Amino acid sequence: MDCIFCQIAEHKLPANIVYEDDDVVAFHDINPQAPVHVLVIPRKKHIAKIADMTAEDQALVGKVIYIGKQVAEQLGIAEDGFRLVFNNGRHGGQHVYHIHLHVLGGRPMTWPPG
Ligand code: AMP
Ligand code: ZN
């Protein structure tokens, strides 16, 4: 599978990993948009985008969100607040088609998003 995030999940591509277990991997974004910018991905299942989720993926994606919260605590941004984002598809600004949760923090975020 020609997917860079599957390759990171399989340790075939390097990444600065902050957390991993059998289900998920969390690693620093290579082009950070905030002082803390981590991506959380499912490890064993390639789901291209949130729009492709099925009912059976609910627990896995729920865990991705839970680990996003855990990583925010681990990296010291939880108390001040942080942002969790799934970009979906072309208009959603998605570039890598393996679902990933952006965990952004360490500065105030603005709204509305660009
Ligand atoms: P998105 O636009 O939502 O698909 O986000 C893709 C994210 O993946 C971007 O923030 C990129 O900077 C990040 N990214 C791309 N390649 C890598 C990589 N090899 N390691 C870490 N982050 C990456
Ligand atoms: Zn993949």
**Nearest ligand to the C-alpha atom of residue 41:** 2
Phi, psi angle pair for 52, to nearest 5°: -95, 0
Return the CATH architecture of domain 4-105. Answer: 2-Layer Sandwich (3.30)
| Beta carbon of 93 within 6 Å of any ligand 1 atom | yes
48 in contact with ligand 1, CB cutoff 6 A:
no
User: Is 102 in the active site?
Assistant: no
Domain limits of the chain? 4-105
CA distances from 74 to 1, 14, 46, 66, 71 (A): 31, 21, 26, 12, 5
pTM assigned to the model: 0.98
Chain segment 26-47, per-residue pLDDT in tens: 999 999 999 999 999 999 999 9
Query: Is 23 touching ligand 1 by the criterion CB < 6 Å?
Result: no
Q: Write the pLDDT tens digit of every residue in 70-113.
A: 999 999 999 999 999 999 999 999 999 999 999 999 999 999 99
